[in-house]
Amino acid sequence: MTVFAVNGRILIVGATGFIGRYVAEASLSFGHPTYLLIRCISTAASKCKAITSLQEKGAIAISGSINDKEFLENVLRENKIDVVISVVGGDSILNQITLIDAIKAVGTVKRFLPSEFGHDIDRANPVEPGLTMYNEKRKVRRLIEESGIPYSYICCNSIAAWPYYDNTHPSDVLPPMDQFHIYGDGSVKAYFVAGIDIGTFTMKIIDDARTINKCIHFRPSANCLSVNELAKLWEKKIERVLPRVTITEEDLLSLAKENIIPESIVASFTHDIFIKGCQINFPIDGVKDLEASSLYPNIHFRTISECFDEFVAKIVVLPSKCLEDNVPAAKIVDQPNERFDEFVAKIVDQPIDTVAKIAEKPMSDIISRRTTTTCA
């Protein structure tokens, strides 16, 4: 049983963000008329490029403000929007209140997905400053429930990548090439989900009557891993053993207390996940809370092993480009390791002595650099 026709019209708010791009791509691939609410003021070049790419695939971009209720009502009415998906960032959570008011006023939206796409914020309890963000998300939840708007909460847990405690988008960065940071004793498990799967399952959820007014959790059993298990898997992929450095609970709490945004927020979430076990310390009751694998047993979650294979492929591309451009780029290892040098030499098809000369900084430093410009 479906809630609306398979070509139901979807409005996505925040489509240029990390999760938003996957949701927008999935909406288009599922054949939905897809509308993007965008703002193009002082936007990074990468976001402009993302908008253009989505438009070329059929998305319709609408420029405007999420804080303009009358404008939002007109967008919803004129485009006959069936589903609204918000994927706004942490600094815009409370801006969704105006969006909720507009949806309620129009009265024709069949489903609203607020900006969640992480932990179950009614169960997780991070320290500050992460707690403030969760309190704002809780406020949005309560307003949705009071309004009577049909909703679904997406709790997709962690992104399938190395969980850096000081990086807001770890999936943009290779797993460690020099040493692992292990949180506590490294034994607490979490669920890891690929971005493309977040988009795919979201599209299934919005078209499923079973998920109305439910919290849907992404818990692929194959991707329930501890940091220790992630480290061993990555070592297997790169054929090298890396040293471990323990990041204690006190270390994470200290960074969180510094209140440096966004690093302290990420540290507070890392503490909640890998010290307190916020993703695994409660059962799914099958009534108010549903699990995506059970709802859609025929859809395959990409494994963390498959995601790590993609990172290994990046190691092939980046050193090769550095050699091609004849510029310093990234030292693959910080300490000599003949076995790993042979591995890199093999994948970039270059002599070992050539690989050994590739620049002077850790690869993670190079990959994490960002260049931004503004939209014209």
Name, in order, each residue with C-beta under 8 angstroms of 225's C-beta and a sequence gap of 6 or more.
189, 190, 192, 233, 304
- Find where tokens 């997905």 sit: 113
The 10 Å Cβ neighbour count of residue 91 is 11
Query: How many whole angstroms separate alpha carbon 60 and alpha carbon 351?
Result: 49
CA 174 to mean position of chain CA atoms: 15
Strand partners, 35: 11, 60
> Crossing angle of helices 130-147/96-106, nearest 10°?
10
Q: Strand runs (DSSP E) across the chain, as ranges?
A: 10-13, 34-38, 60-63, 83-86, 111-113, 152-155, 158-159, 180-183, 189-193, 214-217, 224-226, 244-247, 289-291
Q: Decide: 157 and 193 in contact? Cβ < 8 Å.
A: yes
Report helix, strand or coil for 371: coil
Beta carbons within 8 Å of 308's beta carbon, 6+ residues apart: 175, 233, 234, 237
Omega prior to 220 cis, within 30 of 0: no
- 137 classed as catalytic: yes
Angle, helices 45-56/18-29, rounded to nearest 10 degrees:
10
- DSSP labels, 24-69: HHHHHHTT--EEEEE--SS--HHHHHHHHHHHHTT-EEEE--TT-H
Q: Which of 49, 57, 137, 214 is catalytic?
A: 137
Closest CA to 109 of 17, 215, 1, 13: 13
Task: Report yes or no: 72 and 4 within 8 Å, Cβ to Cβ.
Answer: no
In this structure, are strands 152-155 and 111-113 parallel, antiparallel, or unpaired? unpaired
In angstroms, the Cα distances linking 142 to 3, 114, 136, 303 are 23, 11, 10, 34
Task: Tell me which residues are annotated as active site.
Answer: 137
